[in-house]
């Protein structure tokens, strides 16, 4: 897998031997296409699989409408469309729906939406009257557009899996993050959940770090994207604290947590998250000196203007590529995470 720190590229061994070595992909009915949201990630996935991205025309009309045309026959093929619904969320999600519809009308045998980052995932329940459960609406739209299967990574809450009336493969970016942390051989690690809701995620992460101890930050959220941190449950004094979350958006919660951990005597603080949403003022907060490193993956493209010295970006391309291959070959996906 590849990792980018600042502008330097780090590398490590691939997840498994590339299946392309068997020469089967060229003879199969597997087809891979990329939306415009994260083309570099799609290209990495294609390289892992030993194939090229399928040709496709994407353009926007003068009035803002999107146009998609598949440029090769996909009749009877198993098509995988890679498109995270990251910023601009609505444009990228609409493009994915149009891609799905185009493939369905081109008589593809099966269409799988590969969504490394699932937008609207935080709208997964009603917290007040007259609200939409938009995560469920998104699942409905994918189904109605004609998707046969969805492959998603690190959904914000596990209940979103139940919103789909079609097969969903839910995979995790944790192996990539864990491999990187293990390579650093950090001393006296304590894994920290930034809130009570993330305890299950942090506990699973800690278990794979040689059963590292667990701490929890107790907080009270005052409004959307605003959180007040109260105290730390657990011992962090003199330890290397690793804050684990599924995403970093404005970074208010995770930086407030890091500040509290420092006050409680943590020797070093690292942040780990699969999805780097990085809405303003995230970069200013994360680069303030509270963190030794902020470790994320490339499910969402990160612009050069959003990079800072502490940022480490790891690639999930091999993980996605291996999952796509296993789905195509009707092999186990869950065994990758045991």
Catalytic site residues?
219
Sign (positive or negative) of CA dihedral 138, 139, 145, 147: positive
Cβ(221)–Cβ(248) under 8 Å? no
What are the E-state strand segments in the chain? 2-5, 8-11, 30-34, 56-60, 66-70, 78-82, 110-115, 149-153, 168-171, 189-193, 214-223, 226-233, 240-248, 268-276, 293-297, 311-314
- Measured over all CA atoms, what is the biggest interatomic distance in the chain, rounded to whole angstroms? 61
CA-wise closest residue to 329 among 115, 104, 18, 19: 19
Q: At what angle do helices 39-49 and 317-328 cross, to 10 degrees?
A: 60
Paired tokens of 304: 């050069």
Cα-to-chain-centroid distance, residue 200: 17
Helix or strand or coil: residue 161?
Answer: helix
């Amino acid at each position: 897998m590849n990792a980018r720190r600042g502008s330097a590229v780090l590398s490590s061994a691939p997840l498994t031997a590339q299946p392309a070595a068997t020469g089967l992909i060229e003879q199969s009915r597997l087809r891979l296409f990329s939306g415009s949201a994260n083309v570099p990630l799609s290209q990495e996935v294609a390289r892992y699989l030993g194939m090229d991205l399928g040709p496709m025309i994407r353009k926007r009309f003068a009035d803002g409408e999107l146009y998609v045309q598949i440029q090769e026959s996909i009749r009877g093929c198993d098509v995988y469309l890679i498109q995270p619904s990251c910023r601009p969320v609505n444009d990228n999600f609409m493009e994915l729906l149009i891609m799905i519809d185009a493939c369905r009308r081109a008589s593809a045998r099966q269409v799988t939406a590969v969504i490394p980052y699932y937008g609207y995932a935080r709208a997964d329940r009603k917290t007040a009257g007259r609200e939409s459960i938009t995560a469920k609406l998104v699942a409905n739209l994918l189904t109605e557009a004609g998707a046969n299967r969805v492959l998603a990574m690190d959904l914000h809450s596990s209940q979103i899996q139940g919103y789909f009336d079609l097969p969903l493969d839910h995979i995790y970016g944790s192996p990539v993050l864990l491999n990187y942390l293990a390579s650093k051989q950090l001393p006296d690690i304590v894994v920290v959940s930034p809130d009570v809701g993330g305890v299950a995620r942090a506990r699973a992460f800690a278990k794979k770090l040689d059963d590292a101890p667990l701490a929890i930050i107790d907080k009270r959220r005052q409004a959307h994207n605003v959180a007040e941190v109260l105290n730390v449950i657990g011992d962090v004094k003199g330890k290397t604290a690793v804050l684990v979350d599924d995403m970093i958006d404005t970074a208010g919660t995770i930086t407030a947590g890091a500040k509290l951990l420092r006050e409680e005597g943590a020797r070093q603080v690292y942040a780990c998250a699969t999805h780097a949403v990085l809405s303003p003022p995230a970069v200013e907060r994360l680069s303030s000196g509270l963190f030794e490193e902020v470790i994320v993956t490339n499910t969402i493209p990160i612009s050069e203007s959003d990079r800072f010295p502490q940022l480490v970006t790891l690639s999930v391309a091999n993980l996605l590529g291996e999952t796509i291959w296993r789905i195509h070959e009707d092999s186990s996906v869950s065994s990758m995470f045991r």
